[in-house]
Amino acid sequence: MSHLSLKINGKAHAVDADPECPLLYVLRDDAGLNNPRFGCGLGQCGACTVLVAGVATRSCVLPVARAVGKDIVTLEGLGTPENPHPVQKAFIEEQAFQCGYCLNGWVLATKALLDKHPHPTEDQMKGAFEGLVCRCGSHVQIAAAVRRAAGMKRSA
């Protein structure tokens, strides 16, 4: 066990954790943040995605010790109900998702993608999203939300 200091959504959090413990459980169980979510624990689906130093990261396979000193942003830290992040706004406007359990991955991966490539190509989108699972199959609305967030014309 180690005393670790994490910077989550702009605030400092002191936690007492096994340095090998994946960041996911520290965020959920120590910091009390309900997003990210556990999907596989294997880095295969993205339900646990958070931004670590601006990079969409699978928190279920990242030892917490490796997140120390870096800016961690979870979905609840992206925007507020009064002032949603433009990416969240786009997803709300497109009514993306069925159950929404996977949405941390999609929303935060979109944020990270658009920060890097404001007008992403099809290949860049594939690179950002192929590793995410949406078991309900909401990809059509998700794609519309990504395009809306990027200010791109909707495909037919």
Partner 1 sequence: MTHTSRRAFFKAGGGLLIGFSLSDSGVLPHLVAADTLSTPEPGHLNAWMRIAKDETIRVFTGKVDIGMGVQTGLIQVVAEELDVSPARVQLTMGDTAATPDQGGVGGSTSISAGAKPLRNAAATARYLLLQMASANLGVPVEQLQVKDGIVSAKGDASKRVSYGALAGGGDLAETLRVSGGGFALNVEGKGKPKDPAGYTVVGQSLPRVDLPPKILGRATYSTDVRVPGMLHGRVIRPAGGGANVAGVDESSVKAIRGYVKTVVQRNFVGVVAESEWAAIRAAKELKVNWSSPAAAFPEDVYSHMRSATPKVTRELVHQGDAAAALAGAAKKVEASYEWPFQAHATMGPGCAVVDFHADGVTTVWTGSQKPHALQKGLAQMLGVRAEQVHVVWVEAAGSYGRAGDEDVAADAALLSQAVGKPVRVQWSRADMTAWGGKGPAAIVDLAAALDEQGGVTALEMISRAFSGTEIIPQANTAGNLLAAQLIGMPNTNGGDEFVQWAGSTYPYAIRNVRAVGHIIAPLYGSESPMRTTHLRDPNGPAGTFASESFMDELAAAAGADPIEFRLRHTEDARAKAVLMAAAERAKWEHRPSPKLSASGRGVALSLRGGTYVATVAEVEVDRHTGAVRVKRLVCAHDCGLIVNPAALRGTIQANLVQSLGRALKEEVTFDKTYVTSVDWNTYPVARWSDVPQVEVVLLNHPEIAPSGAGEPSSRPTAAAIANAIFDATGARVRRAPLTAARVKAALG
**Contact region for partner 1 (CB under 8 A) — 38-46, 51-59, 110-118?**
38-46
**Contact region for partner 1 (CB under 8 A) — 27-35, 51-59, 111-119?**
27-35
Residue 124, interface with partner 1 (CB under 8 A)?
no
Six token digits for residue 13: 């959090």
Six token digits for residue 57: 């990261």
Pick the binder of partner 1 from 6, 8, 15, 47 (CB under 8 A).
47
Residue 138, interface with partner 1 (CB under 8 A)?
yes
- Taking phi over 0 as left and psi of -120 to 50 as alpha, with beta for the rest, 75 belongs to alpha
Pick the binder of partner 1 from 4, 6, 15, 21 (CB under 8 A).
21
In angstroms, give the least distance from the CB of 35 to partner 1.
4
Site for partner 1 in 84-103 (CB under 8 A): 84, 88, 91-92, 95-103
Residue type, 151: G
Q: How many residues bind partner 1 (CB under 8 A)?
A: 60
Residue 121, interface with partner 1 (CB under 8 A)?
no
Pick the binder of partner 1 from 2, 54, 69, 80 (CB under 8 A).
80
**Contact region for partner 1 (CB under 8 A) — 49-57, 113-121, 140-148?**
140-148
